[in-house]
């Protein structure tokens, strides 16, 4: 898929909004209030979304974050149905014992951690939308885009999904980025992949059907893919919140963003540790997919050593300053569009409609147009 998330012009912006609204009108008779942006009442005929008591910028930042959290919840829900713990906090699905066993090679508590990460995303999504609504601002609802297929493996619910975690191209540069003492993408640096073969091609991170449960090295390769993808997603949130926080105006909105963002870092830290336990192997059903021993040559050393799970200090703001242990990247310009493009390039939305990409792009552009108003 060729870069469907593109910055759009002001003219296109209005057209996309009205197109999406027309889509809501056309399909919305039975689902009043379930529009793409909803305040509990339909938005038909209105030119712009409502910010209520928030500045337009703060509302736009929160709406992009709400969308990101809805998408995160959707992917984590799929992991939890097959690989986590299904209970009243995170209902749905009934587990896949062989997938869970493969995940537990990375850590005996993987099912609990998957459950907890899923619940966290769900609460982020629900809270941000509730906060927007409390200020009289429009909220985000992506239900019309729940059209992608579920895994056919035993244990998964058969419902429409927003995200596709069965054809992923997983960027693993966070591994080397957080281990480098000299490089930072905010300075234009590009870091090497930890698992180069995951960063090309398309790989399932959950069993697509029960046929994926054997042989054991194949389901282990799928569990390993999930193990790296967990951290790839959560490092994204770890950067996104501080990047957008820099353009928030209201102190309470800043508190919301600064209080949710670090939980993404807690997730990332956990998953980075677990990914380091993924056993070295070659997928017998896809020999191009190789999980290397990251502690041995040509890997190994400070850039790859698996127990270096805390951030190495690196350059920050200026190479003139002493190195500092920090989240990276945290530049704010264009951060929302970059996040949308990053997720799109991973294949997470493979199969989604043009309208979905237009709406995501629109939300991201609005967030990136936000600026502090003092
Ligand atoms: Fe989240
Ligand atoms: Fe997250």
| Residue for token pair 């493969």 | 102
For ligand 1, the distance from its centroid to the CA atom of residue 122, given in whole angstroms, is: 8
**CA 195 to centroid of ligand 2, rounded, Å:** 21
**Pair of tokens at residue 300:** 């190994």
- pLDDT for res 63: 98
Cα 131 to ligand 1 centroid, rounded to whole Å: 15
- What pLDDT was estimated at residue 38? 55
Report residue 291: phi and psi, to 5°: -100, 115
pLDDT at position 3 is 52
| pLDDT averaged per 10 residues, the chain (length 374) | 50 44 33 46 51 97 98 98 98 98 98 98 98 97 98 98 98 98 97 98 98 98 98 98 98 98 98 98 98 96 94 97 98 98 98 98 98 91
* Cα of 299 from ligand 1 centre, angstroms: 31
The C-alpha atoms of residue 279 and residue 290 are separated, in whole angstroms, by 10
In the reported structure, the alpha carbon of residue 264 is separated from the centroid of ligand 1 by a whole-number distance in angstroms of: 6
DSSP string computed for 295-319: TSTTS-STTT-TT--SPPPB-BSBT
Separation CA 356–CA 359 (nearest Å):
5
**Residue 70: nearest ligand to its CA?**
1
Ligand nearest to the CA of 231: 2
DSSP 117-133: HHHHHHHHHHHHHHHHH
CA distance 177 to 247: 25
- Minimal CA–CA distance to 20: which of 162, 141, 164? 141
- 37 DSSP β-pair partners: 140
**Contact present, 265 and 327 (Cβ < 8 Å):** yes
CA distance 374 to 362: 25
Q: Count of CB atoms within 10 A of residue 48's CB?
A: 13
Q: According to the model, what pLDDT value does residue 5 have? A: 60
Distance CA(321)–CA(62), nearest Å, equals 33
pLDDT, residue 374, reads 82
Rounded Cα gap, residues 224 and 110, in angstroms: 12
Nearest to 82 by CA among 205, 189, 230: 205
Please state whether the predicted TM-score (pTM) of the whole model is above 0.75. yes
Residues 212, 193: Cα–Cα separation, whole Å: 26
Nearest ligand to the CA atom of 269? 2
pLDDT at 249: 98
**Distance from the alpha carbon of residue 230 to the mean position of ligand 2, in angstroms:** 9
| pLDDT at residue number 47 | 45
For residue 240, how many other CB atoms are within 10 A of its CB? 24
| Token code pair at residue 177 | 């980025």
Sign of the C-alpha dihedral computed for residues 165, 74, 341 and 170 taken in this order: negative
Question: What pLDDT shows up at residue 11?
Answer: 47
Distance 56 CA to ligand 1 centre (A): 22
Distance of CA 230 to the CA centre of its chain: 9
Q: Which ligand is nearest to the CA of 68?
A: 1
- CB within 8 A of 29, min separation 6: which ones? none
């Amino acid at each position: 898929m060729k870069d469907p998330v593109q910055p759009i012009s002001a003219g296109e912006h209005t057209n996309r909004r009205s197109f999406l609204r027309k889509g809501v009108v056309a399909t919305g008779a039975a689902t009043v209030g379930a529009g793409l942006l909803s305040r509990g009442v339909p938005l038909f005929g209105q030119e712009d979304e409502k910010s209520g008591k928030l500045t337009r910028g703060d509302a736009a930042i929160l709406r992009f974050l709400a969308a990101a959290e809805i998408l995160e919840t959707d992917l984590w829900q799929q992991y939890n149905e097959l690989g986590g713990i299904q209970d009243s906090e995170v209902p749905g699905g009934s587990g896949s014992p062989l997938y869970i066993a493969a995940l537990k090679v990375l850590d005996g508590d993987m099912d609990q951690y998957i459950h907890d990460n899923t619940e966290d995303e769900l609460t982020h999504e629900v809270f941000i939308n509730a906060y927007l609504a409390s200020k009289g601002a429009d909220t985000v609802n992506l239900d019309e885009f729940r059209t992608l297929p579920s895994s056919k493996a035993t244990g998964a619910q058969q419902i429409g999904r927003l995200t596709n975690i069965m054809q992923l191209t997983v960027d693993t540069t966070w591994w080397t980025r957080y281990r480098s003492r000299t490089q930072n993408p905010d300075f234009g640096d590009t870091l090497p992949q930890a698992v180069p073969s995951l960063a090309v091609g398309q790989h399932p991170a959950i069993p697509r059907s029960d046929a994926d449960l054997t042989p054991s090295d194949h389901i282990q390769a799928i569990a390993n893919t999930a193990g790296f993808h967990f951290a790839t997603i959560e490092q994204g949130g770890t950067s996104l919140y501080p990047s957008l926080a820099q353009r928030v105006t209201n102190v309470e909105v800043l508190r919301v963003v600064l209080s949710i963002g670090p939980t993404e870092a807690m997730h990332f830290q956990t998953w980075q540790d677990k990914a380091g336990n993924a056993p070295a192997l070659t997928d017998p059903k896809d020999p191009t997919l190789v999980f290397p021993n990251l502690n041995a040559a040509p890997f190994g050393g400070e850039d790859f050593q698996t127990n270096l799970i805390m951030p190495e200090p690196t350059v920050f703001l200026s190479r003139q300053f002493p190195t500092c242990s920090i989240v990276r990247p945290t530049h704010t310009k264009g951060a929302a569009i970059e996040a949308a493009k990053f997720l799109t390039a991973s294949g997470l939305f493979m199969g989604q409609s043009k309208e979905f990409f237009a709406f995501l792009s629109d939300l991201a552009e609005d967030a990136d147009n936000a600026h502090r108003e003092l």
